[in-house]
Amino acid sequence: MGLVLVGVLALNYPLLSIFASGALLFGIPVLYLYLFLFWAGFIAVAGLMIEAEDIDEAEAPALPTTLTDTTERDAQG
């Protein structure tokens, strides 16, 4: 989530405008260079983070079965 926020910030005004001048670096426009390099970096970081994600982390334990038995409960009511 945080990573996406960084991405949105980096790829929009005003950060983007810093590189929007049209100047060339090593014969390549700075704007292109910035966008593609940031893009590649973003993919790398996202890849590392997601590959490390544990599949079980988001899952809470399954429902306990005791409370699903209504007959048992009603018998006391």
Partner 1 sequence: MLRDSVILLVGFAYLGVLFGIAYFGDKRADAHRSIISNPYIFTLSIAVYCTAWTFYGSVGRAANSGVGFLPIYLGPTLMAALWWFLLRKIIRIAKTQRITSIADFIGSRYGKSAMLGGLVAVIAVVGIMPYISLQLKAISTSYIVLQNYPDLVMPYESSASALWEDTTLYVALLLAAFTILFGTRHIDATERHEGMVAAIAFESLVKLLAFLAVGVFVTFGLFSGPADLFTRAAAVPELASLMSFEGMSGGYASWLSLTFLSMMAIMFLPRQFQVAVVENVNEDHIRKAAWLFPLYLLIINLFVLPIALGGHLLFPSHTFSVDPDTYVLTVPMAERQEGLTLFVFLGGLSAATGMVIVATIALSTMVCNDLVMPVLLRIKALALTERKDVSSLLLGIRRGTIIVVLLLGYLYFRLIGESYALVTIGLVSFAAAAQFAPAILLGIFWKGASRRGAMAGLSTGFVVWAYTLLLPGFAKSGWLPVDFVEQGLFGIELLKPYALFGLTGLDPIAHAVFWSMLVNVGLLIGVSLFSRQSAIEQIQAAFFVDAFRTSNQEGQARFWHGSTTVSDLKGLVGRFMGAARANAEFATYARRRGVDLDEQGSADPGLVNFAERVLAGAIGAASARVMVSSVVKGEALSIEGVMQILDETSQVMEYSRQLEQKSRELEAATAELRAANKRLQELDRMKDEFVSTVSHELRTPLTSIRAFSEILRSDPDLPKHKRQEFLEIVVKETERLTRLINQVLDLAKIEARHVEWHMEDVDLRQIIEDAVAAVSQLFNERKVALKSQLPPVAAIVNADRDRMIQVVINLLSNAAKFCEPKLGRVEVSLVANQDKLRVAVVDNGPGIPSDQAKHIFEKFHQVADQQMSKPRGTGLGLAITKLIVEHHGGKIWVESTLGQGSKFLFLLPALQTIAARAASSRNH
* Six-digit token string for 38: 């940031």
* Six-digit token string for 45: 């970081």
Q: Which of residues 1-30 bind partner 1 (CB under 8 A)?
A: 1, 3-4, 7-8, 11-13, 16-17, 20-22, 24, 26-29
Q: Should residue 32 be labelled a site residue for partner 1 when binding is judged by CB under 8 A?
A: yes
* Shortest reach from residue 32's CB to partner 1, in Å: 6
Distance CA(72)–CA(7), nearest Å, equals 54
* Shortest reach from residue 1's CB to partner 1, in Å: 7
